[in-house]
Structure 1
Amino acid sequence: MKTTYRQVAAAVALTFAALAAPAHAAAPATFSTIKQVKAGELNVGYVDEGPANGPVVILLHGWPYDINSFVDVVPKLTTKGYRVIVPHLRGYGSTRFLDAQAPRNGEPAALASDVIALMDALKIDKATLAGYDWGARTADIVAALWPQRVKGLVSVSGYLIGSQEAGKQPLPPEAELQWWYQFYFATERGRVGYEKNHHDFAKLIWKLASPQWKFDDATYERSALSLDNPDHAAVTVSNYRWRLGLEKSDVKYAQLEAQLAKFPSISVPTITMEGDANGAPHPEPAAYAKRFTGKYQHQHIAGGVGHNLPQEAPDAFAQAVLDLEKL
């Protein structure tokens, strides 16, 4: 059979298309073992890797992310002899409330109390805390209110302790615009919308908060599974409504919130960090440096690094934890 020019051209085109097609990417790594422990109000799902007798580092993730933010950080610390604990926060992954009727409270003092309860359950007297977003705020609160339990602190975006009183103060229009989702969650439409659309909603937040991070679908889907927790939407909405003063503090956290409303200083050795392409609301380092009264250093991370700093720049984040020893 005579081969025509068109057939040859088509074959060549198919060959080039095959060469140009991306190779099938391997599924992103994840943690192989998730443990569970009853701690305070929760049955907490957590990663526990590294030598059992090593100095403890607790890594705290943010919203709307999960423990996989630290999947490349953990081995960098365990190889240095650290025992690394990475818990799913309330409302994420395999963490569950012990009482089916308990309020799905997302206020900051509750999340910080969860960390202390987890440390008590695991018989950890003192640990280094490191986190970003909700995780950084939680770590800041623990360091401020329970400094005797904290060896050192790594906090992305610095001092994030707030109060309902402070939340009443209006911000400049551009800053208010960045908090659009907080106002959305204040409405019944927003609550229902997030329950229904949390998968696509969270993906949008990832893109807005880290505009230069080119994560693929597999990387997102790995973490999105954690947002299918039955309490996730309720805890999320509670957190942001509390900030606007639309929810009252649980009476058992009232004393802690009163202390936090005074913006306590943090005296433990601290390294704060900020990526150069953080698209989420965050304070300027100069605005919070004075809040850290102990040994202190700020690290600016270049290279298009956004809000999810430990996942976007795991080497820098792990190194900051190690650098605490040198302060």
Structure 2
Amino acid sequence: MTSQKAITLCNGALKFSAIEQGSGPVVLLLHGFPDTLETWSEQIAVLADAGYRAIAVATRGYEPESQPEDDDYSSAALAGDVVAWMDELECQSAHIIGHDWGASIAYAAAMAVPERILSLTTMSVPHAGRFLAEIHKYPKQLRMSWYILFFQTPALAEFAVKRKDFAFLRWLWRTWSPGWDFEEQDFERVVQTFRRANVVESALGYYRAAVGLDSLPWRGSYDAEEAWPINVPTLGITGKNEGCIAADVFTAMMREDDFPKGLKVVEVPDAGHFPHRERPEFVNALLVDWLDHHTGH
């Protein structure tokens, strides 16, 4: 089996660190918040061994080289990065697997270039447009999502995230994945990333760009009953013990009529917000079966 190697992907002047392994159909792996591309350490080799070229990428802003001068962290910009990476890799089509914010990016890319995406796998975040339009229907979820509004406060949010050596991020991991006894070294790698210049500001920029809704290309009239079709076969994965976006809310917001090319939703037992980290063998089996089904292996 081929070994992992570090590569650099670009979108104009922006440079993105990535790790790749394997050959075959391209699978782009997009991490979330607060996390890094190393979140996929248990998936990359498995996907490579299954006949895929797995590429985990550090998304926009998570390193100084990928921080845009105009601070554009809109949905359109993030989707544009994915398209640029595919062009640079000279792959006409790819599978996309995204967790948390990576899932949101995956939805945006699917809406921008559905003809170039073989399949989506989205973890822990339901259909992004549906979530923003309907969160008010779920008082429990509004309470759970308090941090999104808190992240809109300039300077204060940055201070809160950074204080006591990023204790807030540790609290999020414990709250979002209750019962998960994560390895300290894994969390420390995340902290190392957030210590880098302007990474905290960039990560919060995702939330600040999203809440205004203006960046969402499918906004339209934003009628809650309107469908925002994802014309790509989609596998949605949520943890049964999810503490960020509740599993029942995730399932309710993943509607078949929003996914005309097919939708499958799986709840991972004994897992919270990071199912691929917490239950890698369970999730890896799902991923390989899903990718094979939509590749023709």
TM-score by length of 2: 0.85
Per-residue CA deviations over 1:138-196 (Å, capped at 9, x if unaligned) read: 111212221111001111146332389838x7455432221222222222322333355
Q: Alignment partner of 2:187: what SS? A: helix
Partner of 1:149: 116
2:14 is aligned, of 28, 42, 51, to: 42
Task: State the shift of 1:39 in Å.
Answer: 1.6
Q: Are 1:45 and 1:94, in contact at CA under 8 Å, matched by a contact in 2?
A: no
1:319 and 2:275 matched: no
SS of residue in 2 equivalent to 1:34: strand
Instruction: Show the counterpart of 1:279.
Output: 243
Q: Retained in 1: the 8 A contact 2:33–2:101? A: yes
Gaps of 5+ in 1: 1-30
Partner of 1:267: 231
Mapped partners of 2:237, 2:113: distance in 1: 22
Contact 1:93/1:228 (CA < 8 Å) preserved in 2?
no
Task: Give SS of 1:137's match.
Answer: helix
Q: Does 1:82 align with 2:49?
A: no
Q: Between Structure 1 and Structure 2, how many residues are aligned?
A: 284
2:255 alignment counterpart:
289
1:60 aligns with 2:24: no
SS in 1 for 2:102: helix
Residue aligned with 2:54, SS? strand
For residues 105-133 of structure 1, give each alpha carbon's deviation from its aligned partner in whole angstroms, at most 9, with x where no partner exists: 32222222211111112222110111111
Structure 1 residue 316: Cα displacement: 2.6
Separation in 2, partners of 1:87, 1:278: 24
Would you say the 8 A contact 1:164–1:243 is kept in 2? no
CA distance 1:321–1:310, shift in 2 (3 Å): same
Select 1:208's aligned residue among 175, 184, 204: 175
Secondary structure of the residue aligned to 2:91 is coil
**Structure 2: gaps spanning 5 or more residues:** none
Tell whether 2:86 aligns with 1:116: no
Give the Cα–Cα distance (whole angstroms) in 1 for the partners of residues 131 and 12 of structure 2: 24
Report SS of the residue matched to 1:106: coil
Deviates further, 142-151 or 189-198: 189-198
**Following superposition of structure 1 onto structure 2, how do residues 163-178 of structure 1 map, counting pairs within 5 Å?**
166=133, 170=136, 172-178=138-144
Q: Which stretch of structure 1 is more off in the superposition, 197-206 or 70-79? A: 197-206
The amino acid across from 2:37 in the alignment is: I
Conserved 8 A contact 2:161-2:169? no
Taking structure 1 as the reference length, the TM-score comes to 0.77
Q: 2:158: which partner in 1? A: 191
| 1:12 corresponds to | none
Checking the alignment, whether the CA contact within 8 Å between 2:11 and 2:81 is kept in structure 1 is yes
SS at match of 1:38: strand
Provide closer, same or farther for how the CA distance between residues 42 and 288 of structure 1 changes in structure 2, counting only shifts above 3 A. Answer: same
Task: Report the counterpart of residue 305 of structure 1 in structure 2.
Answer: 271
Superposed CA RMSD: 2.7
**2:14 and 2:220 mapped to 1: Cα distance?**
24
In structure 1, distance between residues paired with 2:84 and 2:39 = 22
Q: 1:198-237 maps to which residues of 2 (within 5 A)?
A: 199-237=166-204
Shift of 1:94: 6.5
- For residues 77 and 231 of structure 2, the distance between their equivalents in structure 1, rounded to whole angstroms, comes to 22
2:207 to 231, 234, 240: 240
TM-superposed deviation, 1:91 = 2.0
- Give the CA deviation at 1:308: 1.1
**Which AA in structure 2 matches 1:49?**
Q
C-alpha separation between the residues in 2 aligned to 1:67 and 1:312?
Answer: 16
